[in-house]
Amino acid sequence: MGILTFPSCTDFLTENDPNHIVAENYFSTENDVERAVNGAYMALRSGYCMGEGSTAYTEERSDNAGRWDNQSAAGEPFQFTDFSLLPSNTYLKSHWNAMFSTINNANFAIKGAEEVTFEDEAQRNEYLAEAKFVRALAYFDVVRKWGDAPLVTQYLSTPDEINAAAHRVDKSEIYALIVEDLKFGVDKNALPGYMEAERGRANKEAAEGLLGKVYLTMAHVLDDGKRTEYLNNAKTYLEHCDAAKEFGSLSDISFDPEAANGVFNVDNKSTCPEILFQIVYRQGDKDYHSSIAKDTQPGGETTNSLYATQGVPMLKVTPDLVKEFETSENGYGWNDARYGYSVGHSTSQNCYYVTKFRDKSEAAGTLGYGGNDWIILRYADVELMLAEVNEALDNADAAIRYLDEVRARAGVPDYETAKNNPVYSSKFPTLKLAILHERRVELAFENQRWYDLLRFFTPSELVDYMHAKNQADYNESNLQNFSETDIYYPIPYDEWLLNPEGMYQNEGY
């Protein structure tokens, strides 16, 4: 397994070369533990892991966006959106390595927190809870993408240790570890509140919100007779998270990326009370800046960045998504404000592109060294999960109440009014599909859509759903390639080769 890394950084965005440090002798002070925890956070930033460049592994897998060029990098990035992924794909291997490197970095920090003597036991527990939060976050991505996977709970420092861990366990064991890790921070009150925590660090409400999403996912993917139990657990943790928010309703916070109180406003990223957890980037820094604003901007456009983009945008938004927004062009008597803030159209390149992430500041400048943080969890997501879980528990009134809070900020009619519109009712004939729709337009380009599809549909239902779409609205990717095989990624070929029996391949590859 490609997971042998060593974390060492003085803060989130400054790494030191650890090559001459012996891991077994590394921990002697509390500061060493803090640096190791920072190393776990640092690992999340990679575009091969969960940072802003990770859309190939999630958003481009969904029906929201795709890749322009099916030939660049030997066509390997295109395989994700085209559902033609091969176990030999080097981007797949890099993603696997980055996820398990993050897990190993978290294990390293846990090792240190358990070994070092602390003056304050609460500080030890906080470091443990932070490292376990990162491990849970990474494993949640792993289990949703690969299913059964190696379960690594100890820091691995030698090839023999790595090879011994190269075998998959049932996904239920992975979920059990994720739940245990997140509960550590919640039940022990080891984490600060989300508005007291340093931006980019774990907090209690983020752990509760993530735990709610984990239980919600377990209710759909684990066939162990505990569906109702999982749904009720999800409801409990999501309600706890929601009750802690530091604002009245989502309408108190703007969706406009350029509004002073906007959730996506780069100047508001460290103080916005809607954001529960984000991966931090440093505006103006040549090494640790965000590139999402310039990378999603086509040549000739200036919506996102002062950078004079020459080529095509990183993401090509599908007309399928554009047609899902509630706008007058799509037959509604109203316009969803999120559309204009999320999607633009380039006449010169005849394409739709992402406008949600913007940084036209002088600090970012013409080099496009932006400061956008990559949002992992925010309260609109929590509200819509509460709608989802209440619908699944047959609490329609509660589900609609949460759904309407999200719709109110967007300036669209409430659900009871909207469903009397023939366009809306024909596209979203059930409350469940209305919630899925709302999640799509609210959370577009935030790496949520693919996981939502996996959660809302059984594998066979998802195949039918994808095949029923209009190919012309899906850009260059071939929708007919999609099959139940694509629910999970293949195990990278080199990993399978380490232990063909223990690292058994996913079905269909």
Domain ranges of the chain: 1-169+458-509, 292-372
- Which CATH topology does 1-169+458-509 take? 1.25.40
pLDDT cut 70: percent of the chain above it: 94
Q: Could you tell me which of 357, 359, 343, 482 has the C-alpha nearest to residue 64?
A: 343
pLDDT in tens, 465-500: 999 999 999 988 899 999 999 999 999 999 999 899
Give the pLDDT of residue 22: 52
Residue type (1 letter), 251: S
User: Which phi and psi angles does 452 have, rounded to 5°?
Assistant: -65, -45
What the block records as the tokens of 123 is: 């500080």
> By the 8 A CB rule, do 54 and 447 touch?
yes
288 Cβ contact list (under 8 Å, min separation 6): 13, 45, 281, 282
User: Which regions of 355-488 does DSSP assign to beta strands (E)?
Assistant: 374-378
Give the pLDDT of residue 126: 98
Give the residue ranges of the chain where pLDDT is below 70. 1-24, 70-74
Euclidean distance between CA atoms 444 and 457, whole angstroms: 18
Euclidean distance between CA atoms 345 and 278, whole angstroms: 28
**Exposure on the CB side of residue 170, measured as CA atoms within 13 A:** 7
Give the pLDDT of residue 10: 31
3-state secondary structure 55-118: HHHCHHHCCCEECCCCCHHHHHHHHHHHCCCCCCCHHHHHHHHHHHHHHHHHHHHHHHHHHCCC
